[in-house]
Amino acid sequence: MSDLLKFDLLSASIALKNKEFSSLELTNAYFEAIEQTSALGAYLEIVKDHSLNMAKASDKNFKNGTLRPLEGLPIGVKDMFCTKDIKTTASSKILENFCPTYESTVTQNLWDDGAVMLGKLSCDEFAMGSSNETAAKGNVVNPWLKNSKMSPGGSSGGSASAVAARSALAATGTDTGGSIRQPAAFCGITGLKPTYGRCSRWGIVAFSSSLDQAGPLTRTVSDAALMLNSMAGHDKKDSTSANLEMPDLMNYLDKGIRGKKIGIPKEYTQDGISDDIVTFYEKSINWLKESGAEILPVSLPHTKYALPVYYIIAPAEASSNLARYDGVRYGKRNEAASLDEMYEVTRGNGFGEEVKRRIMIGTYVLSSGYYDAYYLKAQKVRRLIKEDFDNVFKEVDYILTPSTPTTSFELGKKQDPLTMYLNDIFTVPASLAGLPGISLPVGLDKSGLPIGIQLIANSFDEPGLISTARVLERSAEFNFIADGAAK
Amino acid sequence: MSNKETMVDIPTVNKIARLSRLNIPEDSKQNLTNDLNNILGFVAQLDEVNTSDVKPLASVTGHKLPLRSDKVTDGNIEDLVLKNAPESSSGFFVVPKVIE
């Protein structure tokens, strides 16, 4: 492994400023790493010439001293973000040749701040999945456990795998029900889902519009702060984008948590959660206590209904959003005699099994006669879930939970859809309430797989989330590196 | 919603597939029916929750949808709009014949 790959986002930024190496050298080191780790299948598309040009432009800025916040730092982009003139497939066959003519707001923000784009990262098809196994181009492998093929989690599996394998310095992800936090937990890295509305959704392939939110996958909490600083911001092109200034998160890295109250929800310790995760959850509680926080038991009574609510609302919104793939305006078309048949064969062949399943569920719960019983009911229970959080945040500042009930599992072990959905049991509630959450690695289980812990904050309290996560990160001292990057 | 008569059978799958404009091969219909019934059975636990006085929540932002003045902000990008179309001609999207 090149020494240049040992730097994280923040330390690489400092080293670049000190002219210890150039952005071109750093970017080239990453292209070597991408080649060496290609068996992981994290990248769908690399754009080397484009990347090297961006790196050269950054090196010019280093010479001139006109530096931007992410100047010269090479990052990967989840394939859910539209990137101008660079293929964007959402890991779906139906978009296999789609080349956007515009750039998503979030990625444009990153390039405007000087970041260098390495390429596009695989994910579950249309971000629907928790194992990256629904990707049209095949599985992505978790770089942990050299001798096995473990899932990187999903849907941002390519992003998590690449950051953990050090084939990207950091990466963008999207999170609808846990798609940043769960893969971050599985791959031993940090993943932050901001408050709904913090990052513009414009130019992100839409899955479930009331839930989708972009965020960073990084090696450290400081890196997440640095990257989210650039990704976030109000955007007129997204009507749900919050018109609210985000404070510079780098000012909150060392604020500590003395006097803060941390809630431990009793509903998040359930049957089926692995012993090693329970052990590290308890350790995390103690670390926060030792650092000056007050620990309080709290209750979020509607937690068990979060997954059923999610599996009505997300498919309903998806069935509507994915109606646009009609074989007319963009995407793959299969020819047929009539227009209706053309739609049916195009969509039947273009979408994978999980996507079709969710479109069917979504169409069913929105259909005449079932709308009230399913969709409206789910929206009502969603309010109760949000009110649970509102009540708890009157008593505490942050909520601590495990990120996932288990660590990563082996790829290719066929699971039924419902068992797969249970992966997101701890991440979905905060998504439904629109709250910011971060998963960070705190230890390894007996088989050597990373364990993630989640912190949830009140809406728009990303600054406090960062301060608290930093305390946990320092106590956990998670310095392990994935052993199977070049498998 | 947990009543057995609301659960899905193959004719329902055919109807939903038609509404979704999805061609589902005959040999996968039974599996899909089973999957849908499992998922609908799972979400039916929402029946336990009393929601008689609860308003539905469609958006968590809490802010009013912003208005903007009714002005064109871009345009003259016909080439870009058509660029990804599977088939286009003279500035139009082309579809199979819809009128006999």
Kindly state the DSSP code that residue A324 receives in the 8-state scheme.
Answer: G
Antiparallel, parallel or unpaired: β B92-93 and A171-175 = unpaired
The total number of residues written for chain B in this structure: 100
Is residue A176 within 8 A of residue A168, CB to CB? The reply is: no
Q: How far is residue A74's CA from residue A157's CA, in Å, rounded to a whole number?
A: 18
Beta bridge partners of A295: A262
**Considering Cα of A366, then A372, then A378, then A379, what sign does the dihedral take?**
positive
Which chain B residues in 42-81 lie under 8 Å from chain A, judged by CB atoms?
42-46, 49, 51, 54-61, 63, 65-66, 68, 77, 80-81
Q: How far is residue A308's CA from residue A296's CA, in Å, rounded to a whole number?
A: 28
Confidence (pLDDT) at B4 = 43
* Residue that wins the pLDDT comparison between A463 and A485: A463
CA B10 to chain A, closest CA, distance in angstroms equals 13
Is residue A343 within 8 A of residue A327, CB to CB? The reply is: yes
Q: How far is residue A147's CA from residue A71's CA, in Å, rounded to a whole number?
A: 37
From the list A329, A356, A418, the residue facing B85 with the nearest CB is: A329
Q: What percent of chain A has pLDDT over 90?
A: 95
Place of tokens 């998963």: A439
From the list B45, B60, B83, the residue facing A305 with the nearest CB is: B45
Half-sphere exposure of A258 (CA within 13 A, CB side): 3
Kindly state the DSSP code that residue A86 receives in the 8-state scheme.
Answer: B
Residue A360 and residue B20: Cβ atoms within 8 Å?
A: yes
The per-residue pLDDT for range B1-17, each reduced to its tens digit, is: 444 445 899 999 999 99
What residue ranges do the domains of chain A occupy?
3-255
The per-residue pLDDT for range A225-268, each reduced to its tens digit, is: 999 999 999 999 999 999 999 999 999 999 999 999 999 999 99
Is residue A121 within 8 A of residue A44, CB to CB? The reply is: yes
ipTM of predicted assembly, 2 dp: 0.94
pTM: 0.97
Q: A221-225, A269-273, A343-347: which range is least confident on average?
A: A269-273
Domains and CATH numbers, chain B: 4-48 (1.10.20)
The pLDDT of residue A221 is above 50? yes
Mutation target vs A (from B48, B60, B76; most A CBs, 10 A cutoff):
B60
CA A385 to chain B, closest CA, distance in angstroms equals 10
**Which of these CATH numbers, 3.90.1300.10, 3.30.70.260, 3.90.420.10, 2.60.120.10, describes A3-255?**
3.90.1300.10
Is residue A231 within 8 A of residue A104, CB to CB? The reply is: no
Burial class of A95 by CB neighbour count within 10 A (0 to 12, 13 to 18, 19+): buried
The per-residue pLDDT for range A131-183, each reduced to its tens digit, is: 999 999 999 999 999 999 999 999 999 999 999 999 999 999 999 999 999 99
Query: Nearest chain A Cα to B96, which residue?
Result: A339
CA angle B62, A266, A385 (to 5 degrees): 20
DSSP A330-388: SS-----SSHHHHHHHHHHHHS-HHHHHHHHHHHHHHSTTTIIIIIIHHHHHHHHHHHH
The pLDDT of residue B97 is above 80? yes
Q: A335 at the B interface (CB within 8 A)?
A: yes
Q: How far is residue A180's CA from residue A177's CA, in Å, rounded to a whole number?
A: 9
**Considering Cα of A253, then A472, then A406, then A220, what sign does the dihedral take?**
positive
Confidence (pLDDT) at B99 = 79
Q: What mean pLDDT comes out for the span A184-191?
A: 98
Q: B30 at the A interface (CB within 8 A)?
A: no
CA A471 to chain B, closest CA, distance in angstroms equals 29
- Per the residue annotation, which of A155, A159, A319, A467 is the catalytic one? A155
